[in-house]
Chains A and B, each alone.
Chain A
Amino acid sequence: MTPALPPASSDPRAAWLMRLGDATLILGCRMTEWLSRAPTLEEDIALANLGLDLIGQTRALYARACEIEGGTRDETALAFRRAEPDYRNPLIVEQPNGNFADTMVRHLLFAAWATPLYERLVASSDMETAGVATRSAREMAYHLRHAGEWTIRLGDGTAESHAKAQDALYDLWPYVPELFEADDLDREAAASGFGVDPSTLRADFDAAVDAVLARATLKKPAELRGQRGGRSGRHSEHLGHILAELQFLQRAYPDARW
């Protein structure tokens, strides 16, 4: 049994917000890898916008976490000055983009989790967090619709697009259980009225995903035990490569400014 890593922040509310921000930052980074490589110009712009939303949400979540901590670090330090074990994102968001179906299915699964999460976080006891959640929930609804429409087109499209979408589901489903596993931090954040217990999101997730898969003529994979560890700081080999690209400039030239 690996010993538990220290919490990401001494303040549990800040740690909880940072963990959500880690998820949106890493997925935002993945989406930016599509820039200039998407199948059509419109989709290139769409993927860039999805990434932009996620990185913007990250900034708001990190900034609030830093305020709660007492202002000793800022959102830039969180993004550029932490190593892999300090990141607490679920493993699904660091999985490689793969083909277009892989990216769209990953985004469907993420948005079907994040949309009800933000919708519940609107009721946070912290007004600033509630405000961030209000704006983010409206954005995620667009993400869910966009990824859902593409999953339907791919699944209900050609034999090849159907096979690729179905493979994407099989490949990514092992990362689904981790999204809904509450730990002490989640339970504490939910009990105090500040945050959301992710185990309460499963019914909404299933309803959204099932509706899309039915129209996409795709099979929902059987749920095996799955892969987990990212939310407690133990990552796949992919995160280090993402951080290497993200953090290179700040590590090579500390405190560099435009």
Chain B
Amino acid sequence: MSAPPVDAVHSPSLDGRSSERPVDRVGRPPGSDPGGVRLQAARAAAARVADPEIPVLSIDDLGILHDIAIDENGRVLVTILPTYSGCPATGVIALGVVTELAKDGFPDARVRLGNTPAWSTGRMSEAAREKLRACGISPPGRASGKRALFAPSPGVDCPRCGSGDTERISEFGSTACKAHWRCRACREPFDHFKCV
């Protein structure tokens, strides 16, 4: 068996939109990027994209935004890591990245869905966990993997009153990444971001 192709680009839904492509307003010669200024600007533009299902979090907060590169023609390639395999937000996020980059003078950006490293809730920043709690979603535990999945007491605290006296209503909640829980102290139902 021969070696697999490296860095194959996978963005079928984003290609074939040539009639809508914006004009490059920056107009620099392709490939020149003294001091990595353009790369930083591209990263900042992509980092503005919010998760459509949890708008308080950016894709940078979630650890979905993985890598940004600019090729010799000045074209930006963004690698994002899908959270759950079937997450319907992935396509919207990819579209958002292309749109935000175009706004900041990076037309024709491509988005690649990366499989390595596999996304896990461990990639979420501490600030992201706080933002989740503040908007009423209990953040995932810090551990990931099998031990976290099958822990006898996952220690889910109510994001509203802080009580640890909570119970799971359903393993599967409003989105692929959330479970449905209830607080026995304040009686409020809430979403819990699942640990993977």
- Which listed segment binds B: A106-114, A137-145, A242-250? A137-145
Cα-based distance from A51 to B1 in the complex (angstroms): 33
A55: which of B1, B4, B86, B150 is its contact (CB, 8 Å)? B86
Residue in A42, A126, A134 whose CB lies within 8 Å of B4: A126
Cβ-defined contact, B170 with A132, below 8 A: no
Q: Does B162 contact A (CB under 8 A)?
A: no
Q: For chain A, residues 139 to 182, give those with C-beta under 8 angstroms from any C-beta of chain B.
A: 139, 141-142, 145-146
Write out the residue numbers on chain B whose beta carbons fall within 8 Å of the beta carbon of A48: 172
Q: Are A139 and B4 within 8 A (Cβ)? A: no
A46-B172, A71-B8, A131-B116 given as contacts; is B1 within 8 A of A192 (CB)? yes
Given contacts A42-B169, A53-B85, A67-B5, 11 further A-B contacts (CB under 8 A): A12-B1, A45-B173, A54-B86, A56-B85, A64-B115, A129-B115, A131-B118, A135-B119, A142-B171, A145-B171, A257-B16
A60-B85 in contact (CB<8A): yes
In the assembled complex, A76 has its CB within 8 A of some CB on chain B: yes
Q: How far is the CB of B85 from chain A (nearest CB, A)?
A: 3
B139 CB, nearest partner CB in chain A, Å: 17
From 115 to 145 in chain A, residues with beta carbon under 8 angstroms from any chain B beta carbon are: 126-132, 134-136, 138-139, 141-142, 145
Query: Is there contact, CB below 8 Å, between A63 and B10?
Result: yes
Known: A45-B172, A67-B5. A74 touches B12 (CB 8 A): yes
B136 at the interface (CB under 8 A from A): no
Interface magnitude class on chain B: 35 or more
Which residues of chain A are near B85, meaning CB under 8 Å? Answer: 53, 56-57, 59-60, 132, 135-136, 139
| Residues of chain A within 8 A of B87, CB atoms compared | 56
Q: Does A205 contact B (CB under 8 A)?
A: no
CA distance A57 to B113 in the complex (A): 13
Complex: A64 Cα to B82 Cα, angstroms: 14
> Which among B85, B117, B149, B196 has the greatest number of chain A C-beta atoms within 10 A?
B85
A132 to B85, CA, bound (A): 8
Query: Are A52 and B171 CB-contacts (below 8 A) given A138-B149, A192-B1?
Result: no
Give the complex CA separation of A75 and B10 in angstroms: 10
Q: Which range contains the number of A residues in contact with the other chain? A: 35 or more
A13 at the interface (CB under 8 A from B): yes
CB-contact partner of A52 in B1, B5, B146, B176, under 8 A? B176
Nearest CB of B to A58, in Å: 8
Contacting residues, chain A, for B86 (C-beta < 8 A):
49, 51-57, 59
**A194 within 8 Å of B (CB atoms):** yes
Roughly how many angstroms separate A205 CA and B80 CA in the complex, as a whole number?
Answer: 34
**What's the nearest-Cβ distance from chain A to residue B182, in Å?**
12
Known: A60-B115, A136-B85, A138-B196. A49 touches B169 (CB 8 A): no
21 interchain pairs, CB-CB under 8 A: A11-B1, A42-B170, A45-B172, A45-B174, A49-B176, A53-B85, A56-B84, A57-B85, A59-B85, A60-B82, A60-B85, A67-B4, A67-B5, A67-B8, A74-B12, A75-B12, A128-B4, A130-B115, A131-B116, A135-B85, A146-B172
Task: Give chain A nearest CB distance to B49 CB in angstroms.
Answer: 20
Contacts of B174 in A (CB 8 A): 45
CB distance from A72 to the nearest CB of B (A): 12
Fill in one digit per residue for A30-55: 1 if any B CB lies within 8 Å of its CB, else 0. 00000000000011011011111111
Q: In the assembled complex, which residues on chain B have CB atoms less than 8 Å from the CB atom of A43?
A: 170
Closest to B1 in A: A192
Smallest Cβ-Cβ distance to B177: which chain A residue: A49
- A29 to nearest B CB, angstroms? 13
7 closest A-B pairs by beta carbon, nearest first, are A56-B86, A56-B85, A131-B115, A52-B86, A134-B118, A131-B116, A42-B170
Other-chain residue from A11, A42, A57, A71 in contact with B172 (beta carbon distance below 8 A): A42
A190 on interface, CB distance cutoff 8 Å: no
Write the B143-170 contact mask toward A (1 if CB under 8 angstroms, else 0): 0111001100000000000000000011
> Which A234-258 residues have a C-beta within 8 angstroms of B?
257
Contacts of B176 in A (CB 8 A): 49, 52-53
